[in-house]
């Protein structure tokens, strides 16, 4: 009888990642059940919370950094600058820790405290800017990031709204993953629209595989992208303050490819928030309000679906980002979202 050395067995069978950046991607596809029981189709969630920064933005953050390094725009010891609603900053901060960069981020005053605290915990400097001002205003988080870039030596401004690496990240990774995981059976892809990178990159890849795949975007009331998609013009009357984080725009990012998008659905911030809670309580998937918005938008479009359809809805980020907001009854009540029947259990 031969004996195999246990020590050697473990040595030769070990598998590990060289650093946390190698764990980005290959996120699971999970069937939704109770929250979509009224939908006559198979609905699958692409759950991006398993990325190291707990959001889909890890993909494009790393891609923007690596492409900037390849072009020589981001050099050793450099400073990464970005305007972020939190999740892109998280991905950039994680990449910066591993690669040895510093980060300076600008964020709007409506972003959750949890996001800001996490960015600072990773060593980033975070500057809070007013959320009520127009993007061209010198105090907007776009403008402040640009100003910081011009006055900070050895810095790189990612500018996720216009940076083509944002779209490429999803064209090269998220789109192919969805196609492979559904074995090419996907008929609809639905996702909240923010910078436009996810919907444009995934949408472009899926339509190249099958032009019949429908690409649906979701945005909150107060965002202007639906009017641009339908008329080619920004309808300023549609623009107003909204509570939903991470999706929606008061400007038109270069990365939004309107030709890829088949339809944009608007949802209320209340419906997005309540659906976020429903996903947690009925599916046990811990996600943020952009996921709630996407599912709420899908329910509004349910009459366009049939039983043979396979819908993939992308879940952007994790519930931990919204403990003080969506998961807090006091905050929800202050927004006018709660009544006696929809409070958190045992609250």
Mean pLDDT of 281-300: 97
Mean pLDDT of 191-208: 97
pLDDT tens by residue, 261-289: 999 999 999 999 999 999 999 999 999 99
Same fold for the domain at 20-50+173-334 and the one at 57-157? Answer: yes
What is the distance between the alpha carbons of residues 144 and 334, in angstroms, rounded to a whole number?
30
Tell me what percent of the residues of the chain surpass a pLDDT of 90: 79
The CATH T-level fold of domain 57-157 is Rossmann fold (3.40.50)
* Consecutive H or E run containing 300: helix 289-300
The answer to whether 122 and 90 are in contact (CB under 8 A) is yes
pTM of the predicted model as reported, rounded to 2 decimal places: 0.91
Q: Residue ranges of the domains in the chain?
A: 20-50+173-334, 57-157
HSE, CB side, 13 Å, CA atoms: give it for residue 328: 13
The CATH T-level fold of domain 20-50+173-334 is Rossmann fold (3.40.50)
Active site residues: 57
Least reliable range by pLDDT among 4-18, 141-155, 227-241: 4-18
What is the distance between the alpha carbons of residues 328 and 331, in angstroms, rounded to a whole number?
5
pLDDT tens by residue, 222-255: 888 999 999 988 877 777 888 888 898 888 899 9
Q: How many CB atoms lie within 10 A of CB 266?
A: 19
pLDDT for position 104: 97
Q: How many CB atoms lie within 10 A of CB 143?
A: 18
């Amino acid at each position: 009888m031969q004996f195999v050395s246990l020590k050697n067995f473990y040595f030769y069978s070990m598998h590990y990642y060289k650093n946390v950046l190698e764990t980005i991607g290959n996120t699971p596809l999970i069937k939704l059940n109770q929250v979509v029981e009224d939908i006559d189709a198979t609905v699958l969630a692409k759950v991006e919370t398993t990325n190291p920064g707990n959001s889909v933005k890890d993909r494009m953050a790393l891609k923007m950094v690596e492409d900037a390094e390849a072009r020589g725009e981001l050099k050793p010891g450099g400073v990464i600058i970005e305007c972020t609603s939190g999740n892109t900053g998280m991905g950039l901060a994680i990449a910066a820790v591993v690669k040895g960069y510093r980060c300076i981020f600008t964020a709007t005053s409506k972003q959750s405290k949890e996001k800001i605290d996490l960015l600072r915990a990773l060593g980033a400097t975070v500057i809070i800017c007013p959320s009520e001002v127009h993007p061209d205003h010198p105090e907007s988080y776009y403008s402040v990031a640009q100003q910081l870039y011009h006055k900070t030596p050895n810095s790189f401004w990612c500018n996720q709204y216009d940076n083509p690496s944002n779209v490429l990240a999803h064209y090269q990774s998220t789109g192919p993953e969805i196609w492979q995981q559904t074995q090419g059976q996907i008929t609809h892809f639905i996702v909240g629209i923010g910078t436009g990178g996810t919907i444009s990159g995934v949408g472009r890849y899926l339509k190249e595989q099958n032009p019949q795949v429908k690409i649906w975007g979701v945005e909150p009331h107060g965002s202007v992208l639906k009017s641009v998609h339908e008329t080619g013009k920004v309808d300023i009357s549609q623009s107003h303050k909204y509570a939903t984080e991470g999706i929606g725009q008061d400007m038109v990012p270069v990365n939004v490819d309107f030709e890829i998008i088949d339809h944009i659905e608007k949802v209320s911030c209340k419906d997005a928030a309540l659906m976020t809670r429903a996903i947690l309580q009925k599916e046990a998937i811990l996600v943020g309000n952009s996921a709630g918005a996407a599912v709420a938008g899908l329910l509004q479009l349910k009459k366009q679906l049939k039983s043979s359809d396979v819908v993939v809805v992308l879940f952007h980020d994790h519930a931990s980002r919204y403990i003080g907001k969506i998961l807090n009854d006091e905050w929800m009540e202050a927004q006018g979202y709660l009544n006696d029947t929809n409070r958190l259990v045992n609250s």
